[in-house]
Amino acid sequence: MSYLFNTPEQQQEMLQTIGIDSLEALFSTIPADLRLDRPLDLPPALSEMELQTHLSQLASQNVGPTSRICMLGGGAYDHFIPAAVDEIARRGEFYTAYTPYQAEASQGSLQTFFEFQSLICQLTGMDVSNASLYEGGTCVSEAAFMAMRVTNRHDRVVLLGSLHPEYRQVVETYLRHLNCEVVIVPCKDGSVDPADVDAAMDDQTACLVIQHPNFFGTLEEAAELTEIAHRYGALSVVSYDPISLGILKRPGDYGADIAIAEGQSLGTPLQFGGPYLGLFSCSEKFVRRMPGRLIGQTVDRNGKLCYVLNLQAREQHIRRDKATSNICSNQGLIAIRAAVYLSLLGKQGIREVAELSCQKAHYAAEQLSSVEGIELLFPERPFFKEFVVSCSEGADYLLRKARQAGFDLGPELSRFTFENCPENYQTGVLVAITEQRTREEIDRLVTVLKA
């Protein structure tokens, strides 16, 4: 076995040193009646060559964006990944390193995470960022927990009905057993009415969770909604699309207290939904209530600038059942990808990606809605890079026709349940356009759909 180092002769020597006579005897502390009396029933072992053939064969049964044109959205996006991102992330020094508890042995990871935090602060306009959480959905739950600690209100959180339905489901799972009411503000025409939000808030609400751009791609009145949250003494939690901040106002610019996001767009491949990257930032005054890992700058015993894991007492190690969360890991390697991606793009690049996505999405929306039977479901709402179309022949017809011509659209809204939403939502199909899509592709799709 190529991963096990000791020869049978060495094993014998080692057993002698230990003072026992067989490998079996090493397991003598496992009572005999608890032992498995047969080999595990697993598929046969494969050599590297055989495994590669096998994986290639499985991969060939899947169809990915290399052979189809991806206009799928709904929280995971086919943005371009510069080669340098993979080059850095594939360095063994990063991906085979341990959590940086021993600062002296981990300055590379620590400085990179510190810079990741700095980049996220610049991107969002927030004061502090942690070194990442699992993914976008769990970030909402962690933000709600944090808002409860900060406001000392534990009974009620309010979510916009335009929040990603899977994020909403995660929050409901996380909060179900804490006697916390989860209130959903209905979404009427692809976004919520601030008056409805105002009606849903009260002075026992811990936070208002806004997604902007929202699940349907449209913009919410994020600044006004933040003001409403503050009027009730609740925290404003904004879930953003990181690419959108190349052109949109940043959550910090309009006073959000906690800014969260799915960071997959920042240099991480789609890989069927994970691992992704939970971005979590907040204003300075809440830093000690923040979940997850934080990297801080300090000096060493010789006065040299260096980086350490900071404020660890908030984690699960020390206060245990009083911990701010049970999170033990971050998404270190994915955070490194995001740091490299944001460094490569810089202030100009992030603007270009955002503008290209926005311009092309609007072109696509215009062209698609020129097809007879297809229209925008929310024609009045401004959007960023994603929009909902409906088809008079039905969502399935539209998806099938596009798919036959090599285009993947979606997800279809009928996959999800949207509480208190109009029935016509069931006919909708999301279309996401990134900077990677070309006019030629969009025109070809339109031609196919017109035929």
Contacts of another protein in 225-244 (CB under 8 A): none
Under the binding rule (CB under 8 A), the answer on residue 33 touching another protein is yes
424: its two tokens: 């016509």
Under the binding rule (CB under 8 A), the answer on residue 380 touching another protein is no
Taking the least distance from each CB to another protein, the nearer of 380 and 423 is: 380
Check residue 247 and report its DSSP letter.
Answer: T
- Residue 19 CB, shortest distance to another protein, in Å, is 7
- Residue 387 CB, shortest distance to another protein, in Å, is 11
Taking the least distance from each CB to another protein, the nearer of 203 and 382 is: 382
Under the binding rule (CB under 8 A), the answer on residue 53 touching another protein is no
- Residue 142 CB, shortest distance to another protein, in Å, is 10
* CB 123 within 8 Å of CB 244: no
* CB 74 within 8 Å of CB 430: yes
Please list, residue by residue across 116-151, b when 16 or more beta carbons sit within 10 angstroms of its beta carbon and e when fewer do: bbbbbbbbbbbebbbbbbbbbbbbbbbbbbbbbbbb
* CB 410 within 8 Å of CB 429: yes
* x-or-dash string of contact with another protein, 288-327, rule CB under 8 A: -----xxxxxxxxxx-x-xxx-xx-x-xxxx-xxxx-xxx
Taking the least distance from each CB to another protein, the nearer of 105 and 203 is: 105
* CB 325 within 8 Å of CB 280: no
Using CB under 8 A as the binding rule, the residues of this chain from 418 to 437 that contact another protein are 435
* CB 128 within 8 Å of CB 290: yes
CA distance 419 to 184: 7
The span of 16-24, 153-161, 186-194, 420-428 binding another protein (CB under 8 A) equals 16-24
CA distance 107 to 429: 46
Using CB under 8 A as the binding rule, the residues of this chain from 179 to 218 that contact another protein are none
* CB 110 within 8 Å of CB 97: no
Total number of residues that touch another protein (CB under 8 A) = 204
The span of 51-59, 155-163, 372-380, 387-395 binding another protein (CB under 8 A) equals 51-59
Under the binding rule (CB under 8 A), the answer on residue 19 touching another protein is yes
98 CB-contact burial (10 Å; exposed 0-12 / middle 13-18 / buried 19+): exposed
Q: CA dihedral defined by 43, 90, 263, 340, rounded to 10 degrees?
A: 180
- Residue 182 CB, shortest distance to another protein, in Å, is 11
Residue 202 gets the label, from left (phi > 0), alpha (psi -120 to 50) or beta, of beta
Under the binding rule (CB under 8 A), the answer on residue 79 touching another protein is no
Number of CB atoms found within 10 A of residue 286's CB: 17
- Residue 312 CB, shortest distance to another protein, in Å, is 8
* x-or-dash string of contact with another protein, 118-157, rule CB under 8 A: xx-xxx---xxx-xx-xxxxx------x------------
Taking the least distance from each CB to another protein, the nearer of 208 and 290 is: 290
Taking the least distance from each CB to another protein, the nearer of 132 and 390 is: 132
Taking the least distance from each CB to another protein, the nearer of 233 and 394 is: 394
- Residue 6 CB, shortest distance to another protein, in Å, is 5
Taking the least distance from each CB to another protein, the nearer of 147 and 294 is: 294
CA distance 292 to 287: 11
- Residue 50 CB, shortest distance to another protein, in Å, is 9
Using CB under 8 A as the binding rule, the residues of this chain from 355 to 374 that contact another protein are 355-356, 358-360, 362-363
Helices (H), 374-416: 395-404
